[in-house]
Every structure is written in structure tokens, then in C-alpha cells.
Amino acid sequence: MSQTDDFISMKEIGQAINDSQRQEQLPQQQQHQQEHDQGQQELQQQQPPAPPIQPEHHQHPHPNTQGPTKVRKNLEGRKTSGKYTLNDFQILRTLGTGSFGRVHLIRSIHNGRFYALKVLKKHTIVKLKQVEHTNDERLMLSVVNHPFLVRMWGTFQDCEQIFMIMDYIEGGELFSLLRKSQRFPNPVAKFYAAEVCLALDYLHSLDIIYRDLKPENILLDKNGHIKITDFGFAKYVPDITYTLCGTLDYIAPEVVSTKPYNKSVDWWSFGILIYEMLAGYTPFYDSNTMKTYENILNSKLKFPEFFHEDVRDLLSKLITKDLSERLGNLQNGTDDVKSHPWFSEVVWDKLLSRNIETPYEPPIQQGQGDTSQFDRYPEEEINYGIRGVEDPYHDLFKAF
């Protein structure tokens, strides 16, 4: 981001948050935290293939033994099964829980590095009719390779669970930082929004729609750059889809009204995200769920008085029900968003290469499996690795 006044205020807010965190641990309200590295020692010597976009700077190379990613037509990603088992890792503690299972911090017994292990219960996935979404999540994560998206290293399954080995992103959720700060100054919100914009641009270039953009699904890495996680609703959509899914406050009106949709829904959610970062709340929220739906469909967008004129203009063009006017959904795609005056000082190439200083660096001990940015959860007796019993769901999750 660049210019002096904005940059100073970004660093000031970062310092203030850092100071406050020395007194109080950041709250954590969501799961899906992910991890960092490979399992076997032999993989440590390998170099990554050329990624589809500009690679990350200042990071260790990430081996990828599965060959290049193929996209378009029938979307194909890396093979993710057969490389790891539970015996390759030590399970340390729970990072998050949910209705499908939980996420653990784990450590490789081969290279000593920390990862996140996402564990989902097959029976629950089937009961809640989430088989397609779960398989889509694995596929999407096996395809993507971008500085601002979480990385998945491999998958496996036993008779009762499926497992995904992910990057461990130790800085916690953007959601927690936002609640701690109440709302972000304009340049801080702009920094995070710009990184999200680049991630969406990349996903859309592969005809992948994300469909669940919100602060809870944006993690901060050790340097304070974003990593979008939780691809449970992500889907390869080269044309249109109709599925009603997402998180209520961020769902686009075309989804609520069950109309066909595509990438447009991510740009609506992008606008809601910017609004929430600047205001501290979402524009259509109501404690009554049905009223929230009604607001999304019918209410006029209103702004707090302190919103700058250029961000009002941007949000009016993102949070619009008219798909023929929504930025990101027009002929020039993401370029219309990136060229908007609110983003005028962003140097996009430098941002993509992570050569712009972040407004906030999480107060963590890097590379030590630091979990200070995550809530504590009650630990349960682990019953993973079950073999030799009937598994009626194995064929539903063949790719795992």
C-alpha cells in the first residue's frame, strides 16, 4: 500500500493491537485453522513446480510431488491420497471444533514441522448431505496454489473419518483481530481487502467460486498476510449453479432468491467484508434470520457517516442487486475492482509478491507451534485410525 499517511496509521493500529495482546490473548471463535509443510524427509529436498501465479517471496519452498495442476473442462488437481498416515504425525491439541469434527495442531515426526489436521466424521457428512461439498473441498484445495490461499498437503481416511493435512497458519483469524479492534482504519481494511481481491481473482481465473467469504475464514500468517481457508463451499463452476449455501450475513440476493449464479456472489460478499471491516458490523444484519433475508433482498444500503466517499462508491457498486452493474461481474472482471479509486494507492504486483509491509504482525513465536492466537477447547479421547471394521461410506470418499 504505500503512501506515508496511510502507511503510518496502518503501523500505528498494528502497534496498538500488539501492545494490547501482551495483556490479553486474542479471542478465537471459529475453527478451520491449518498448517505448514510436508511429511516425509525425502520430500524436503524437492523443489515446487512452477505455480499458476507469481510465487510467494521470503518463504521456504513447498515440495509438490504430484505434478502440475490441470484446470478447465474436467477440473483435475493433485492426487492427495496415499502419501501420509496418522503414524507420520504427533497430535498435539485442538485448534477448533465444529459439527463435522475438529481441527488439530499436529507435528511431523519426520521434519518436526507443524501442520493442521482437519478431521471430519463420515457419518455426519452423509447425514447432513455434505458429501459433494466435502469432495469439492478436497478437489479445490488440490488445485489451488496462491500466496493468499491455504495449502493442503495430503489426505487419508480410516473407517470412520477423513483427514486433511493443511498449512498451520499461526496468526489466528481476521475475525478475532477485527473484534479486538472493533473496526479497522481505512488503510488497514484496504490492505486486507486488496489481498482478498487478488485471491478471488486467482480463483475466478480457474472458474472456482468460493461462496463463503467472511472474516472467520481469513487467517493471518506469521507476517500478517492473509490466508483464505475453509473451502467447504468452494466449487468449480464454468457456467452457473443454484445451490443455496454460504453464511447468512454475506449471502448474495441471487442466492437467497434461488436464481442461477456464478462469480457474482463472491463480489457481493467481498463488498460485505469491506463494509464490516470498516464499520464493525454487516449492513443487513438482524437478530431474526428471516428479517436478514428480507433485508438482503429489499433493504437499501446505508453507510455510517464516517465512510469515505470513494469507499461508499465502491461498496455501492459491489453490494448491488443489479448483476449488470456489480463490479467484478462485468466485462473487465476483477480489473474493474482493482482500478477503483479506493484502491488507487495499491501496488498490486508488490502486494502479490508480499513485498508490502503488513499493518499488523501477530505476536507469536514463529515456527514453534505457537497457539496463543487460538481458543482452548476441551480435548476428547481420540479414536482415529480404525481399520478392519465395516465402512459403508468408503466409496463416497474415494479420492481421500
State the pTM of this model.
0.82
Asked if pLDDT for residue 351 goes beyond 80, the answer is yes
pLDDT for 79-123, tens place per residue? Answer: 999 999 999 999 999 999 888 889 999 999 999 999 999 999 999
pLDDT at 29: 35
31 CB neighbour count, 10 Å cutoff: 24
Among the listed residues 289, 395, 382, 327, the one whose alpha carbon sits nearest the alpha carbon of residue 93: 382
Asked if pLDDT for residue 58 goes beyond 90, the answer is no
* C-alpha distance from residue 326 to each of 179, 219, 314 (Å): 28, 27, 10
In which band, very low, low, confident or very high, does the pLDDT at 18 lie, cut at 50, 70 and 90?
low
As to burial, measured by CB atoms within 10 angstroms (0-12 exposed, 13-18 middle, 19+ buried), residue 312 is: middle
The pair phi, psi for residue 376, each rounded to 5°, is -85, 140
Asked if pLDDT for residue 31 goes beyond 50, the answer is no
CA atoms within 13 Å, Cβ hemisphere of 204: 21
Average pLDDT, the chain: 85
Going 327 to 342 to 346 to 251, the CA torsion angle's sign is negative
Q: Which of 6, 167, 212, 370 is catalytic?
A: 212
pLDDT for 294-346, tens place per residue? Answer: 999 999 999 999 999 999 999 999 999 999 999 999 999 999 999 999 999 99
Helix (H) or strand (E) holding 13: helix 4-21
Q: Please state the rounded mean pLDDT for residues 165-171.
A: 96
Domains and CATH numbers, the chain: 86-170+369-396 (3.30.200.20), 173-353 (1.10.510.10)
Cβ pair 117, 91 in contact under 8 A: yes
* C-alpha distance from residue 242 to each of 154, 258, 261, 382 (Å): 30, 6, 6, 38
Q: Please state the rounded mean pLDDT for residues 212-229.
A: 97
Asked if pLDDT for residue 243 goes beyond 50, the answer is yes
Q: Residue 127 annotated as binding?
A: yes
Q: Please state the rounded mean pLDDT for residues 43-68.
A: 32
SS3 of residue 139 by DSSP:
helix
Q: Please state the rounded mean pLDDT for residues 40-55.
A: 32
- 212 is known as an active-site residue: yes
Specify the DSSP class assigned to residue 152: E
The pair phi, psi for residue 309, each rounded to 5°, is -60, -40
Q: Please state the rounded mean pLDDT for residues 112-136.
A: 96
